[in-house]
């Protein structure tokens, strides 16, 4: 009997259907005539990359509307000490160093949809590129692909001058966080942005050091935390509109949580770099399948996964109670 071959379609569907055992061994147990070794070889020999992700999603995106959001996330590999891609890196969730793989992601989003369009695996020791270098690569690539987003959205980590200038060079506008110590000038007086004494709901025009004129505002959370926002769109003078646009940045946080919870992107057990890369790509594809069905049928990612196991539970209960 001829043995079943592994494929991107099969493996990504397996990631959607499973809940906690995202291994080749488990796939071999649920698919007839496929072995664990077959899955392992496919993971190791496949060579998927970010441009192929774009081929998966470009037909589903209106490049002339929406937002592009950039941020990174850490895939936790603290129990995989010999993993070829993992290294000690800072984790915002853990507030300390964690062994893991960092992905820098570019997400397209609008009011209802959130679709990853590009990503990079952060490997500074190998390719000598910083996260900011990867950010600029993806921004330039998005321009070549015909995007003209309403705004580029990012947090304070990606708001260095070189990144802001890169966005401006594409003819685009941004909204971003600024750290409280960023230097701005008003009436030719330099100061930290935290010293501007911005009033509630005030949008103020200032000179951002080494960049040029921007509009800034202050957002005070219920717990008293203060966030400073900046944009190079000098027409965005309405405070409510300013905040409303920037709220879409949160979609990339939702994406990072969802792809970890629904596709097992952190759960590849191979220590080989190429196998990890294949698994990561397949996880992106799995999430895209979930997202496109959510858009079409209005079924959440989590309900889609629950509906698969619900059938198995029903069959088990009917059998056990017979």
Q: Residues of 264-298 as b/e, b for ≥16 C-beta within 10 angstroms?
A: bbbbbbbebbbbbbbbbbbbbbbbbbbbeebeeee
| Spatial CA neighbour of 217 closest among 191, 237, 245 | 237
Q: How many CB atoms are located within 10 Å of the residue 176 CB?
A: 26
The strand pairing partners of 265, in sequence order, are none
Q: How many CB atoms are located within 10 Å of the residue 108 CB?
A: 24
| Spatial CA neighbour of 277 closest among 41, 43, 10 | 43
Contact yes or no for 118/69 (Cβ under 8 A): no
Q: List Cα–Cα distances, 59 to 117, 230, 292, 302, in angstroms.
A: 11, 32, 11, 24
Show Cβ contacts of residue 49 under 8 Å, excluding neighbours closer than 6 positions: 281
Environment class of 82 (CB within 10 Å of its CB; exposed 0-12, middle 13-18, buried 19+): exposed
Global confidence as pTM = 0.94
The mean per-residue pLDDT over the stretch 139-149 comes to 98
User: CA angle 135-65-162, nearest 5°?
Assistant: 25
User: How confident is residue 1, by pLDDT bands cut at 50, 70 and 90?
Assistant: very low
Does pLDDT of 138 surpass 80? yes
What is the 3-state composition of the chain as percent helix, strand, coil, each rounded to the nearest 5?
45, 25, 35
Q: What is the pLDDT of residues 105-124, one digit of tens each?
A: 999 999 889 999 999 999 99
Contact yes or no for 149/66 (Cβ under 8 A): yes
Rounded to an integer, what distance in angstroms lies between the CA atom of residue 96 and that of residue 85?
Answer: 19
The mean per-residue pLDDT over the stretch 288-309 comes to 96
One DSSP character per residue, 8-42 reads: HHHHHHHHHH-SS--SHHHHHHHSTT--HHHHHHH
Computed over every residue of the chain, the mean pLDDT equals 94
Q: How many CB atoms are located within 10 Å of the residue 25 CB?
A: 12
Does pLDDT of 205 surpass 90? yes
User: Where do the structural domains in the chain lie, given as residue ranges?
Assistant: 47-155+241-310
φ, ψ for residue 286 (rounded to 5)? -60, -45
Does pLDDT of 211 surpass 70? yes
Window from 26-35, 44-53, 146-155 with minimum mean pLDDT:
26-35
Q: Residues of 229-251 as b/e, b for ≥16 C-beta within 10 angstroms?
A: bbbbbeebeebeebeebbebbeb
The mean per-residue pLDDT over the stretch 79-99 comes to 87
Rounded to an integer, what distance in angstroms lies between the CA atom of residue 129 and that of residue 120?
Answer: 11
Does pLDDT of 2 surpass 60? no
């Amino acid at each position: 009997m001829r043995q079943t071959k592994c494929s991107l379609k099969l493996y990504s569907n397996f990631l959607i259907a499973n809940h906690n055992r995202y291994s080749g061994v488990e796939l071999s147990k649920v698919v007839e005539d496929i072995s664990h070794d077959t899955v392992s070889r496919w993971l190791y020999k496949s060579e998927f990359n970010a441009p192929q992700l774009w081929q998966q999603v470009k037909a589903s995106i209106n490049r002339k509307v929406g937002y592009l959001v950039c941020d990174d996330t850490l895939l936790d590999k603290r129990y995989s000490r010999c993993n070829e891609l993992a290294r000690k890196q800072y984790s915002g969730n853990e507030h300390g160093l964690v062994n893991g793989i960092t992905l820098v992601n570019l997400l397209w989003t609008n009011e209802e949809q959130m679709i990853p369009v590009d990503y990079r695996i952060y490997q500074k020791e190998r390719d000598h590129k910083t996260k900011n270098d990867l950010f600029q690569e993806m921004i330039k690539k998005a321009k070549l692909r015909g995007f003209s987003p309403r705004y580029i959205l990012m947090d304070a980590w990606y708001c260095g001058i070189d990144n802001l200038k890169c966005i401006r060079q594409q003819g685009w506008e941004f909204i971003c966080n600024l750290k409280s110590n960023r230097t701005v000038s008003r009436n030719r007086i330099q100061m930290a942005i935290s010293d501007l004494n911005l009033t509630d709901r005030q949008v103020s025009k200032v000179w951002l050091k080494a960049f040029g004129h921007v509009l800034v505002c202050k957002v005070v959370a219920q717990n008293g935390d203060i966030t400073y926002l900046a944009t190079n769109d000098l027409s965005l003078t309405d405070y409510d509109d300013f905040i409303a646009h920037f709220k879409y940045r949160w979609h990339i946080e939702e994406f990072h949580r969802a792809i970890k919870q629904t596709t097992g992107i952190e759960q590849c057990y191979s220590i080989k770099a190429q196998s990890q890369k294949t698994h990561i790509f397949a996880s992106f594809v799995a999430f895209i399948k979930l997202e496109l069905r959510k858009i079409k049928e209005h079924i959440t990612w989590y309900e889609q996964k629950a509906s698969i196991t619900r059938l198995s539970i029903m069959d088990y209960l009917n059998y056990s109670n017979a």
